[in-house]
């Protein structure tokens, strides 16, 4: 009996086949376009968006299921907020309360109301639809702005703190915005949803629960993992923390990103913070890239093609309106005009949470699917302007304060060395070099420090010495040494590698905050890395032994052995990439250098 080929059932495509084929296409397109866009200085985010739009169902149709991928990739935003929370101690959050709850509130309310009015009077939408579209447009892209601030260390600067405060309140405002859309809903199925006051109660209860869990569960758990010395367990605990906090918030219909942020803040002063941060960071980078790929995939190119003038004009209006409002508000809250304008440009785009709120507005029958697609495209196009606007924002951010007539380093005479940071550390380095007769160019970005130095007839030039253009103006092409004496724990190989490539004739030296920063710089070929309190701590240790009556020859021997032992620990930590390596070499009560030298201190 013969069976025709047409009667043979097709072989089903397995999930593994789909995952592998789509994964290869997505990652291949991402690698190509991100490298291309970075090469031209346009940023990785725009590369991801274009790659997703090209291979997605609206483009070449090579990959489908953009909505499902978007839902999964939103975990990347959750991880981003968790890592931001790790950078912020509760005390610092309390210090920023005015910027968060006054400046942030003013920005969301003012931008939301004005954008709502623009949509209502220019489109003919109902007030309910205009509110559901206008309020989400007040939010900016945390996923675009924060990674740049964080990687460059600017999140801890006054400028970065203002920008971060606005972004944080925007993330906090997700809950009330969801409540407003639910209250305006025309969908009968939404009538049984929880009222706004109940959602607010859920939020406070969930935050309190996360705080208690962090204090009484996570910290003891991290201590146990630290004693075990299993590095992969930090990955597991870190991801568990993020997903558990997000899952709790999601079950209460609250912001998952807010839950992850609170969890991060609770671990900000943990001794294992850097371990968790370094382990979670790769997952954040991958999922955030997938998020922007998915955003490009779900972009309805047909709707955009049918209304190109409307999409482009509304995107331009969105960027211009938010830039002007945020700049004005930042000026009212104490920023100079130029940095305030830089903040406005940096936050002028629409945000990723807009896609979530547009979907909810569509489900609430407030807007049609076509309107949701159009405004998603408007947000996407506004996000595409961010890499360009960031270039201008960076210039405004580090502009000279209006009240200070501070000369830039382009006016400095060329010398053998450039000292970046003229605080208590940089002053000693500079004084020793000048004592030998070397020409030294001094750079600092704190006007107060420059003014104090001028009283001692010391010429210090204004600027951020980690910027390539400023170093060029300071004569780094001719310098034989560039010493970074700034108190910046986030200064790492990513920031220094371009400088090393641009000025290969100059030896680079870095003031390191601690051993963690030394590990971050291990891939760099530096002329020297100095832990800022290392030598002074040894000096006090020597004086402490002398005050206890230890003979001078024994003091000298202890110092020698300690330096040797510390160098061995540092080498092993660098080799294994973790501070937990060589912890058995640390001295403890009962485990002295004398015991170790006799070989009988191992069990002490």
- For residue 534, count CB atoms less than 10 angstroms from its CB and return exposed for 0-12, middle for 13-18, buried for 19 or more: middle
The CA distance from 604 to 23, in Å, is 53
pTM over 0.75: no
Alpha helix (H) residue ranges in 185-230:
196-213, 219-228
Alpha-carbon distance of 212 to 412, in angstroms, equals 55
Question: Which of 26-40, 151-165, 255-269, 290-304 shows the highest mean pLDDT?
Answer: 26-40
Q: String of b and e for 344-370 (b: at least 16 CB within 10 Å)?
A: bbbbbbbbbbbbbbbbbbbbbbbbeee
- Report whether pLDDT(593) > 70: no
Range scoring the smallest mean pLDDT among 297-301, 329-333, 475-479 = 297-301
Measured between alpha carbons, how far is 200 from 147 in angstroms, rounded to an integer? 29
Identify the pLDDT of residue 600: 42
Cβ atoms of residues 409 and 420 within 8 Å: no
Q: What is the overall mean pLDDT for the chain?
A: 80
**pLDDT number for residue 199:** 66
**Mean per-residue pLDDT, 38-61:** 79
Q: Residue 131 pLDDT more than 90?
A: yes
Where residue 434 falls among pLDDT bands split at 50, 70, 90? confident
| pLDDT tens-place string over residues 366-418 | 888 888 888 988 988 888 888 788 777 776 665 454 444 566 677 677 778 99
> For the sheet containing 461-462, what is the strand order?
461-462, 440-444, 417-420, 481-484, 507-512, 528-531
Q: CA 252, CA 335: separation in Å to the nearest integer?
A: 38
pLDDT at residue 89 greater than cutoff 50:
yes
Distance CA 218, CA 283 (A): 20
Tell me the pLDDT tens digit for each residue of 492-502: 887 888 888 88
Name the least confident of 158-162, 230-234, 484-488: 230-234
């Amino acid at each position: 009996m013969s069976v025709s080929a047409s009667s043979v059932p097709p072989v089903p495509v397995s999930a593994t086949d789909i995952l592998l084929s789509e994964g290869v296409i997505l990652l291949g397109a991402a690698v190509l376009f991100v490298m291309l866009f970075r090469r031209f200085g346009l940023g990785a985010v725009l590369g991801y968006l274009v790659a997703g739009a090209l291979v997605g169902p609206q483009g070449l149709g090579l990959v489908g299921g953009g909505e499902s991928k978007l839902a999964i990739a939103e975990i990347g935003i959750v991880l981003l907020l968790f890592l931001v929370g790790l950078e912020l101690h509760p005390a610092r959050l309390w210090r920023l309360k005015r910027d968060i709850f006054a400046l942030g509130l003013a920005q969301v309310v003012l931008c939301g109301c004005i954008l709502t009015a623009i949509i209502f009077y220019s489109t003919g939408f109902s007030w309910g639809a205009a509110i559901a579209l206008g309020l989400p447009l007040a939010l900016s892209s945390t996923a675009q702005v924060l990674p740049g601030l964080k990687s460059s260390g600017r999140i801890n600067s006054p400028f970065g703190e203002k920008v971060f405060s606005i972004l944080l309140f925007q993330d906090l405002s997700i809950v009330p915005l969801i409540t407003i859309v639910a209250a305006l809903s025309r969908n009968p199925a939404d009538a049984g949803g929880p009222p706004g006051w109940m959602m607010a109660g859920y939020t406070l209860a969930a935050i309190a629960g996360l705080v208690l869990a962090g204090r009484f569960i996570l910290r003891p758990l991290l201590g146990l993992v630290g004693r075990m010395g299993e590095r992969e367990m930090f990955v597991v605990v870190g991801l568990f923390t993020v997903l558990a906090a997000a899952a709790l918030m999601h079950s209460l219909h609250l912001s998952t990103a807010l839950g992850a942020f609170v969890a991060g803040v609770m671990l900000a002063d943990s001794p294992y913070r850097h371990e968790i941060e370094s382990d979670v960071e790769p997952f954040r980078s991958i999922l955030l890239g997938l998020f922007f790929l998915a955003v490009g995939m779900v972009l309805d190119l047909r709707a955009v093609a049918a209304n190109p003038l409307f999409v482009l004009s509304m995107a331009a209006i969105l960027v211009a309106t938010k830039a002007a409002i945020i700049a004005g508000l930042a000026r009212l809250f104490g920023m100079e005009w130029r940095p305030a304008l830089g903040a406005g440009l940096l936050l002028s785009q629409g945000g990723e949470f807009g896609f979530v709120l547009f979907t909810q507005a569509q489900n609430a029958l407030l807007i049609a699917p076509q309107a949701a697609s159009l405004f998603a495209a408007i947000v996407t196009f506004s996000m595409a302007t961010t890499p360009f606007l960031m270039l201008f924002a960076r210039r405004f951010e580090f502009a000279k304060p209006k009240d200070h007539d501070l000369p830039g380093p382009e006016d400095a005479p060329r010398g053998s060395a450039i000292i970046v940071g003229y605080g208590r550390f940089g002053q000693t380095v500079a004084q020793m070099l000048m004592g030998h007769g070397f020409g030294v160019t001094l750079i600092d970005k704190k006007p107060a420090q420059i003014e104090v130095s001028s009283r001692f007839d010391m010429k210090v030039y204004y600027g951020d010495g980690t910027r390539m253009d400023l170093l060029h103006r300071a004569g780094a092409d001719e310098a034989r040494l560039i010493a970074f004496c700034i108190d910046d724990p986030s200064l790492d190989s990513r920031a220094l590698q371009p400088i090393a490539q641009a000025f290969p004739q100059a030896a680079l030296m870095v003031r390191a905050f601690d051993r963690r920063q030394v590990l971050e710089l291990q891939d760099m070929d530096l002329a020297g890395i100095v832990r800022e309190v290392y030598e002074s701590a040894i000096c006090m240790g020597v004086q402490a032994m002398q005050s206890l009556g230890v003979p001078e020859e024994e003091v000298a021997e202890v110092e020698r052995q300690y330096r040797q032992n510390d160098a061995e620990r540092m080498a092993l930590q660098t080799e294994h990439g973790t501070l937990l390596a060589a912890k058995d070499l640390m001295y403890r009560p009962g485990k002295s250098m004398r015991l170790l030298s006799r070989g009988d201190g191992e069990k002490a």
